[in-house]
Amino acid sequence: MHDIRFIRDNPDQFDAALKRRGIDPVAGTILKIDSKRRGLQARLQEMQSRRNQASKEIGARKAKGEDANALITEVNDIKQQMPQMESEESILAEQLDSWLMGLPNLLDDAVPAGDDENDNELVRSHGSIPTFSFTPRDHVEIGEGLGQMDFALGAKVSGARFVVLRHQLARLERALAGFMLDLHTSEFGYVETIPPYLVNTQTMTGTGQLPKFAEDLYRANDKWLIPTAEVPLTNIVAGEIVDAKTLPLRLTAHTPCFRSEAGSAGRDTRGMIRQHQFSKVELVSITTPIDSAAEHERMTACAEAILQKLELPYRVVRLCTGDTGFSAHQTYDIEVWLPGQNEGRGMYREISSCSNCGPFQARRMKARFRDDNGEAHFVHTLNGSGVAVGRAMIAVLENGQQGDGSVRLPAVLHTYMGSELITAA
């Protein structure tokens, strides 16, 4: 959500910032609504004050036996006018709120210009791309060959973009999540949390999923299924004023995530790359404005550490203006190498997005901190995948595949799995 005071003071700067996202100038429209609303508010305050004053005068005149009819008429006229003006003010407030809630976050100056993922900026790469003596298979062929990944059964039970995992692959999902949580809590200081998987509309609105992205969400009566644990974790501070000494607040959670993928129809229809239900280990940080940039780098490094310990090659890219999400001020994507994709030629695919949202979500949630002088300021919120469990499984399968159809596991998973290999069931 945007600060109307900033727009009042910097309309040209606001429009220029939104232009980077391809949005036409809107400050003039917003300020016209704001000005009309403020005028009505001032007029209502004047009328309220006059009504109170006149009511006192009526009492005083009646006490003296004087005529108060003119004042009574004036008060009645004010009472008749105010409901209509209050209704107009309420409509303008809703229009203003709709504008401020519906526009995306302003981008960091470091975000490169570009239209889509092809214009993202390479920041760094890690690890060596593996070579094989055979044409690498994708995870679908590997999993089905092991007899432990069943998309037909998933479709039978639930429809397209669902899968049933069995035996070692079911255990692998649990092992990956456990490994990620153990690392983030023991080495990086995140607090493991189990949040609700169903949230209310206010919570979804607080992090920016609503109202703009309703079609990508699943609803259950008056609740919404979470598309990411970012939603409940970040909203823990909604409506609060936290002590600056308690920041940064770092939380992690392993949850199922539910997305209708309405905006991605026809994309990644094969396999587990893009499903309606998947699990993810999420990282959320709540911090002060002065520390948020450093926290963003730290969070990204925490997600990278997962891939390093899983011995997976990856690269980090800074998303361009056309690819940065609605609530983000700046985003790093971590893309893991998947050798079985692109008909065995391999390609990088996103496995984590780490975003600094600045105060954008905090304004929507009314989440603040109190500094040493007792003044309240909006917190900065950050979120990142640490990492997507299903895509980590895909990467482990495709990078560890062997010629005989088995999969060699990274050393860090041996204890979790009780085995060094995944073999046919």
**Nearest-CA neighbor of 329 among 376, 284, 382?**
382
Residues 358-364, mean pLDDT to the nearest whole number: 98
Active-site annotation holder among 274, 315, 363, 370: 274
Task: Summarize pLDDT for 391-404 with one digit per residue, the tens.
Answer: 999 999 999 999 99
Residues 378-399, mean pLDDT to the nearest whole number: 98
Residues 146, 152, 157: CA angle, nearest 5 degrees:
125
Residues 321-348, mean pLDDT to the nearest whole number: 97
Q: Is 243 exposed, middle or buried (0-12, 13-18, 19+ CB in 10 A)?
A: exposed
- CA distances 327 to 128, 258, 401, 418, Å, are 33, 19, 38, 41
Q: How much is the pLDDT for 383?
A: 98
Does 15 have pLDDT greater than 90? yes
SS (H, E, C) the chain: CCCHHHHHHCHHHHHHHHHCCCCCCCHHHHHHHHHHHHHHHHHHHHHHHHHHHHHHHHHHHHHHCCCCHHHHHHHHHHHHHHHHHHHHHHHHHHHHHHHHHHCCCCCCCCCCCCCCHHHCEEEEEECCCCCCCCCCCCHHHHHHHHCCEEHHHHHHHCCCCCCEECHHHHHHHHHHHHHHHHHHHHCCCCEECCCCCEECHHHHHHCCCCCCCHHHCCEECCEEECCCCHHHHHHHHCCCEEEHHHCCEEEEEEEEEECCCHHHCCCCCCCCCCCCEEEEEEEEEEECHHHHHHHHHHHHHHHHHHHHHCCCCEEEEECCCCCCCCCCCEEEEEEEEECCCCCCCCEEEEEEEEEECCCHHHHHHCCEEECCCCCEEECEEEEEEEEEHHHHHHHHHHHHECCCCCEECCHHHHHHHCCCEECCC
Cis-peptide, bond into residue 359, ω within 30° of zero: no
Residue 54 phi, psi dihedral angles, 5° rounding: -65, -35
Q: What is the pTM of this model?
A: 0.93
Question: Which residues are bridge partners to 315 per DSSP?
Answer: 125, 335
Q: How much is the pLDDT for 263?
A: 67
Active-site annotation holder among 37, 137, 171, 259: 259
Does 419 have pLDDT greater than 90? yes
Cis-peptide, bond into residue 387, ω within 30° of zero: yes
Task: Summarize pLDDT for 92-151 with one digit per residue, the tens.
Answer: 999 999 999 999 999 999 999 999 999 999 999 999 999 999 999 999 999 999 999 999
Given a contact cutoff of 8 angstroms between Cβ atoms, the answer to whether 34 and 96 are in contact is yes
Active-site annotation holder among 74, 350, 363, 406: 350
Please say if 349 is a catalytic residue: no
Lookup result for tokens 């900033």: 6
Q: How much is the pLDDT for 269?
A: 82
Please say if 274 is a catalytic residue: yes
Residues 330-336, mean pLDDT to the nearest whole number: 98
Within 13 Å of residue 111, how many CA atoms lie on the same side as its CB? 27
Please say if 215 is a catalytic residue: no
Of 140-154, 263-277, 341-355, minimum mean pLDDT range: 263-277
CA distance 73 to 79: 10
Active-site annotation holder among 282, 368, 391, 398: 391
Pairing type for strands 164-165 and 149-150 reads: antiparallel
Active-site annotation holder among 260, 292, 353, 355: 353
- What's the whole-number average pLDDT of the chain? 96
Question: Which residues are bridge partners to 355 per DSSP?
Answer: 331, 383
Given a contact cutoff of 8 angstroms between Cβ atoms, the answer to whether 421 and 405 are in contact is no
Please say if 350 is a catalytic residue: yes
Total Cβ atoms within 10 A of residue 375: 9
Distance of CA 133 to the CA centre of its chain: 41
In the chain, pLDDT over 70 holds for what percent of residues?
99
Does 264 have pLDDT greater than 90? no
Please say if 8 is a catalytic residue: no
Does 267 have pLDDT greater than 90? no
